[in-house]
Amino acid sequence: MSVLQQSLQRQAAVLAFGLSMVACSVQTAWAGGTANDNQSAAGIATAGAGQAAEAGDASVIFFNPAALTRFKRIEVLNTAAVALFYNDYRSTRDQDGAPTNQGTQGSNGQSFERRDGYDAAELIPALFIVAPINEKLVMGFSASGSHGLMARYDENFPGRGQGRDVDLKVTRLNLGFGYKLSPTLSLGANGSYERYFQSIKIRLNFRDAVSKLGPPGTTTALDGTAALGATPPIPEETDAKLRIFGWAFNAQGGVLWEPTEVTRVGLSYRPKTKFRSNTGTLQINDTAQTAAFRDFLQGGLIGATGPALGINGPQAAGDLAPYQRAKQDITFPDELRLSVFHHATPKLDLMFTYGRQDYTDTKLRYTRESNGRVIEDVPQNFKVAQTYRVGLNYKMYRRLTLHAGYATENGVVGDDLRLPILPDNDRKFYGLGASVDVNRDIRLTFAYQLLDVKEGAVGNNRSITPVEVSGAPYNGIANLDVRFFSVGYTERF
């Protein structure tokens, strides 16, 4: 077999593997907190420092397409990370939350968590391709996760009425270019398609909902009539799942300035992403009890007495239908990045990045597609997130480079409105890693990162509507930490 044939087979194998990673990434991309800057193994190791200026690998297309002009050969980067999630809830009062089906409630100091193997881990693949067209123009493509979140709690934890499991995955496909205007100045742009998926599992407590919808004494009265066989019993708790899918288009622009041979500055901006086509389903686990209770709400005693009590029985029955179409309009934040890369010595690179994301237009509101009635509206009053990242590369040997980084970012929601399913708070990133140059064309990178989110108070948000889905009062502390283990494979042609 000729050298040319071997080279072509190798290229085909790398690209085929990369394309398979694209298919996986559309399904399983994850991110933390919720924006994801962990695009490559090297970026995980350096905590994202220098991301818009370094151009150390093809993942730079995600951060600043102008920096594509740094590449002189075709480069394919396949990266995969495993994220391990550690989240829990700790009660800060007795009689915490609504009683469970077993009649128990949380108590002060009691911890609720769920860490059961695969259910608390996520595989995050990504693919990046760079291809120079001529001396000035370089094209690039990427498929990776841009935003996401995972939180898992015990099914009986006190905040279950506002959600006990959440998965958020947003995958971004970028197609862009970098163009060198002069020896020191490059411009670039990306066009992107984003795919949105969100799943929230809620534990419905009918007794709590009935007590909020009816006048005082309603649950006691229904318990009495149920004992006489005149009405069905109030159902026990059951699960409901809200699943939303959607898509959006957006763009990104960037500039790279190289004032000296050892220093470069990158700046990029991406406007807010408006998802206007997010639709899905609300599914309520149907049981014989819930079916009988819906029939009861449709007429009979409720039909006769409901209006006087301020209860719309048929409407409530419709809201409890086991399968309903749902929709959501949501806006994701803009992205501003300013990075500096400096080749300080033949062995040492120093990097810095400032990032800003404005979440103030992001709302958590879900409605029914058929009649526009609100399923859940969760006030959050999101604010701007600002990130500061520092990192370094140290060339220990000719083929071995060490990486390290640290970053800090403020949370975007306060103690007054935070929810367990969005345990956002101030956070810190600690990264370490190493790259091995197998030969002139192949590089392997290994990385570890700890994402440490400050624990925060939850249960103070009393503004969730409708009232029947707001959940019973609870107060506690939620915490979320993530550990990333990543490997990257780079091949140049």
Residues 323-342: pLDDT tens digits?
Answer: 999 999 899 999 999 999 99
Please check whether residue 240 lies inside any domain of the structure: yes
Query: Is the predicted pLDDT of residue 68 greater than 70, yes or no?
Result: yes
Please check whether residue 312 lies inside any domain of the structure: no
Please check whether residue 62 lies inside any domain of the structure: yes
Q: Do β-strands 273-284 and 238-260 pair in parallel, antiparallel, or remain unpaired?
A: antiparallel
Please check whether residue 55 lies inside any domain of the structure: yes
Residue 219: the pLDDT is: 87
Residue 191: the pLDDT is: 97
Query: Is the predicted pLDDT of residue 1 greater than 50, yes or no?
Result: no
Question: 54 and 60 in contact (C-beta within 8 Å)?
Answer: yes
| Mean of all residue pLDDT scores within the chain | 88
Q: What is the pLDDT of residues 234-257, one digit of tens each?
A: 999 999 999 999 999 999 999 999
Q: What is the pLDDT of residues 11-26, one digit of tens each?
A: 444 444 444 444 343 3
Please check whether residue 249 lies inside any domain of the structure: yes
Residue 27: the pLDDT is: 34
Q: What is the pLDDT of residues 119-158, one digit of tens each?
A: 678 888 999 999 999 999 999 999 999 988 888 888 899 9
Residue 301: the pLDDT is: 63
Domain count across the chain: 1
Residue 163's pLDDT band (cuts 50, 70, 90): confident
List the domain range (segments joined by +) for residue 400. 3-285+322-492
Residue 148: the pLDDT is: 83
Please check whether residue 310 lies inside any domain of the structure: no
Residue 25: the pLDDT is: 38
Indicate which CATH number applies to the domain containing 38: 2.40.160.60
Looking at per-residue pLDDT, the higher value among 79 and 9 belongs to 79
Q: What is the pLDDT of residues 285-295, one digit of tens each?
A: 999 999 998 88
Residue 302: the pLDDT is: 67
With 0.75 as the threshold, say if the pTM is over it: yes
Please check whether residue 269 lies inside any domain of the structure: yes
Residue 314: the pLDDT is: 82
Q: What is the pLDDT of residues 261-313, one digit of tens each?
A: 999 999 999 999 999 889 999 999 999 999 998 888 887 666 666 666 667 77
Please check whether residue 299 lies inside any domain of the structure: no
Query: Is the predicted pLDDT of residue 60 greater than 90, yes or no?
Result: yes
Q: What is the pLDDT of residues 387-428, one digit of tens each?
A: 999 999 999 999 999 999 999 999 999 999 999 888 999 999
Residue 85's pLDDT band (cuts 50, 70, 90): confident
